[in-house]
Structure 1
Amino acid sequence: MPITEEAQNMVSKVGGEETVELRIRHFEEDFQYLQSLWHELMDKYLNQWVAVYDKSLVAHGKNIHELRKKLSSKGVPQNEAVIDYISSERKSMLL
């Protein structure tokens, strides 16, 4: 399916189609990794925010601001990390 010129310009700004596809694939892998750890995360980080990047749990915090500070200090790109809140009531929210 052809994409619009505006969409093509956006894709070009982030490195081209291959880069976009690679980022999406990494995000999907990190999301699946987070899902595979869900029960362990509930035991260790209940009612906390967690972040997964490059198939690794890279940070956790009691609030989103604390988590984002930790990600920044570690040089983890926040727009590429999978961030979720660990709650006993499962709700999907991707940031």
Structure 2
Amino acid sequence: MKFKKSLITTLVGMSLLGGNIALAEEQPNLVIFYVDDLGYGDLANYGHPILKTPNIDKLAAAGIKYTQYYSPAPLCSPSRAGMLTGRTDEV
């Protein structure tokens, strides 16, 4: 009898918790282009008059464009490592 009560209580509790999981908000997708030697105005959506970047333009139109970023290091490898780990080369 005690086992049946605990089983029923567990099943009811799990069904209530499962409803909350289904109602959770969907997390947004995040795409970061981290490119060597690409300046601020080197993409069409940032105003380059000659280059055509239609797919990047579509992504930028559907999302958020960040216009300011400070690199953690002046070289490629340490700046990529800083971007991925959130750490800088400071001791």
User: With structure 2 as the length reference, what TM-score do the two structures score?
Assistant: 0.24
Q: Identify which of structures 1 and 2 has the higher relative contact order when contacts are C-alpha pairs closer than 8 Å and 6+ apart.
A: 1
Look at both structures and tell me which one has the larger radius of gyration over its CA atoms.
Answer: 2
User: With structure 1 as the length reference, what TM-score do the two structures score?
Assistant: 0.24
